[in-house]
Amino acid sequence: MEAGTPGGISVQDEAVDKSNFKKCNQIAFYRRQKLLRPGKSLYRVLLDSVTLSDENVKFQIIHEGNKVLLQVEIYEIEGNIFRLKIDEASPLRPRYKVPDVLIKEPTTQRLLISHKEAGILVLSSVNEDYKLRVTANPFQVELQSKGETVMSVNSNGLLYFEHLQPPPSDRYSICLSHPRIYWCAVAENKEKQEDLGLWQEKFGSFLDIKAHGPTSVGMDFSLHGYDHVYGIPQHTETLLLKNTSDGDAYRLYNLDIFGHKIHEKIGIYGSVPLLLAHKPNRTSGIFWLNSSETLVDISTKTAKQRAVPLTDVRWMSESGIIDVFLLMGPTAFDIFKQFAQLTGTQALPPLFSLGYHQCRWNYEDEQDVKAVDAGFDAHDIPYDVIWLDIEHTDGKRYFTWDKKKFQNPRKMQEHLRKRKRKLVVIVDPHIKVDPSYILYAQAKEKGYFVKDRNGQDFEGICWPGSSCYPDFTNPDVRKWYADQFAFKTYKGSTNILFVWNDMNEPSVFKGAELTMQKDAVHYNNWEHREVHNLYGFYQQMATAEGLIRRSSGKERPFVLTRSFFAGSQKYGAVWTGDNTAEWSYLKISIPMLLTINMAGISFCGADVGGFIGDPEPELLVRWYQAGAYQPFFRGHSNMESKRREPWLFGEKNTQIIRKAITERYVLLPYLYTLFYRAHTAIPVFQRGGTVIPLKTSAGKSTEWMIDISYELHVALDAEACAIGELYVDDGHSFQYLHKKQFLYRKFTFHKNILSSR
């Protein structure tokens, strides 16, 4: 949703103004890291510090300039995964380590030291398929598979680790020990001190005070034989990642950028720090587990430029530690499985959520909702869910209703229930500052809001005007928030009401880059800079838990989120945000969704027709035809856009749109089966050689189709063979999991015979 005019404050023009968002050269930690050029690393291994346990291999490395010791830990994880962790050996205070993203602490396998002499340490996996060759001086790691070097770590000497330092008595008398460069910004060189942004950083009128000083980390990885790399969503870019030699690194920093442009590397609503590299005989991956602002530089030399292609990838984060997982594949399927093993599989969605969703900002009142619902039946167009945006609330107070427009929301939902349809309402994270608003009063009393650097509740401007933001990093806050979805608490809600989390980057209209100040303070005194990319992840987690809890754990939730991180797939769906009604945005939606899908989030979609503006009829028709084959299928538009229900564009276009949506419903058995498979780590987008289960016809909604019969379509591969599956359950509960109540059939077509078991 766009930035608009809350409380008479217009910020829409600001939101489309690119000067409100940083370019790479305006980011202080990026400028500092880029001062370190490729070359010989000044870090060396202290070989006498090497220790071996059943869990890992540990050793220390030292920087030859500042003499700071770092602790290195190397793990082999079941399933061809290696983990490399680097932290300060003796930090002044603990550094932030990302919690809750990994589904559990990974199961490790014992590494063996197979060679240790002459400055070389060779670690072998138990099955000896993989070896890690650690060079002591300079520190470097080569990861080899059956004698072939697949990946090198720090081969360009770009390991970067800003150790914690006590604050200077005079902020202009700090000497930062910088790898290969010593920056002594003394009093007479204030300009250089401020340019480095060590203890404070300005952007426009905003001042970011860094209470713990510079804490940036970075590392380079060389991918041998690879010249095709993918992943690191979310960007409005092509599927194949581009070289960043133009000076713009790929940015991972969740931002509300209304009217975002395409083919830009700036971060938008979500971030998954997973990069995939592919070549004919192998796929590899790098998962950089860091939730602070992160930039990624890519330099690829193709086979035309060197005998063996090579891609260098440089990760740079503002804070935290280095915690990186090297996914060794060797197939693309294996990579998806490995990432799911770490961060979880896609939650199995309720069947209705795979149908068509009708949304706009905003359906005005109960009569409008009923009229739109009736319109679908009158025009014989299937749909499952109608959505309500922020105007349904009492003055943008979430968990409430505008009593003039929605006088009896429960009765409205019962009307939808009889027609076998559902309702989704928006619940944004910001909470209106209003002592009479019970949600605000409770959170205020309990101390549940994010604090500013002075210890007061952080206040920002969003839809309700002055707002506070729940600290979702606090497990007690998440539990309290989940409790708000209980039927007795959320008045007017029923079990056919589901939830949309928007504006959860978080969006702060008058904040730096339209988001929360980095020096805001969260649970356990962590600064916002450490957790920024996790904020929406945690809100969706709490919301999904609330929907599960309201049914005593029996019913599956549906939660759509705009902001996301690695692991968000465990809690629901995402969409690509505020796109524009232009052909180029339809085109770019396809690689954007494929990239999100590669990063483990299978339940993803783009607003059909484009959120901003008015699509020409042909564009709208084509968008429906594309959207019908994408995992999440929703038509959505801005309040300033003309009404866009599928029957408003002439009978000919209505027929084509009806056909596209109907085809989606006929295809639901196949899509639902794919989501069941995604539950076991395969992305939803699928290829040929498949037996496709379909319904013989569509119904008014998914519930109307329960008794419609199935048919099988066989799409053969080059060998005239195909395999496929059909998965069926009740479509809404956890009975498939708790009591194994489901039907699963596997089909095989071979030698002109179709069989099943």
Catalytic residue among 373, 471, 505, 513: 505
SS3 of 589, please? helix
The residue written with tokens 């969503």 in the block is 233
729: Cβ contacts below 8 Å, ≥ 6 apart: 735, 736, 741, 742, 743
Which of 157, 174, 197, 165 shows the shortest CA–CA distance to 63? 157
Contact 348, 679 (CB under 8 A): yes
Contact 258, 509 (CB under 8 A): no
SS3 of 466, please? strand
Q: Which helix (H) or strand (E) holds 413?
A: helix 409-418
Contact 221, 327 (CB under 8 A): no
**Catalytic residue at 195?**
no
What are 528-532's contacts with CB under 8 Å, separation 24+?
528/450, 529/208, 529/292, 529/293, 529/318, 529/319, 530/96, 530/291, 530/292, 530/319, 530/320, 531/96, 531/291, 531/292, 531/473, 532/253, 532/254, 532/291, 532/292, 532/293
Length of the chain: 757
Q: Is the dihedral of CA 227, 232, 235, 239 positive or negative?
A: positive
Euclidean distance between CA atoms 163 and 256, whole angstroms: 32
* Pair of tokens at residue 699: 């119904």
Q: Is the dihedral of CA 73, 77, 83, 85 positive or negative?
A: negative
The full 3-state SS of 545-579, as one line of letters, equals HHHHHHCCCCECCCEEECCCCCCHHHCCEEECCCC
**Catalytic residue at 502?**
yes
The residue written with tokens 């945690």 in the block is 538
Euclidean distance between CA atoms 634 and 703, whole angstroms: 18
Contact 4, 502 (CB under 8 A): no
The residue written with tokens 């052909």 in the block is 583
Contact 675, 700 (CB under 8 A): no
Contact 438, 399 (CB under 8 A): no
**Angle at 589 (CA atoms; ends 587, 592), nearest 5 degrees:** 125
268: Cβ contacts below 8 Å, ≥ 6 apart: 234, 235, 236, 254, 255, 257, 260, 577
CA neighbours closer than 13 Å in the CB half-sphere of residue 514: 30
Peptide bond into 655 cis (omega under 30): no
Euclidean distance between CA atoms 608 and 619, whole angstroms: 10
Contact 244, 311 (CB under 8 A): no
Catalytic residue among 578, 607, 645, 703: 578
Contact 219, 160 (CB under 8 A): yes
H helices within 35-70, ranges in order? none
Which of 41, 101, 51, 42 shows the shortest CA–CA distance to 71? 51
137: Cβ contacts below 8 Å, ≥ 6 apart: 44, 45, 119
CA neighbours closer than 13 Å in the CB half-sphere of residue 130: 25
**Catalytic residue at 505?**
yes
- What residues are labeled active site? 502, 505, 578
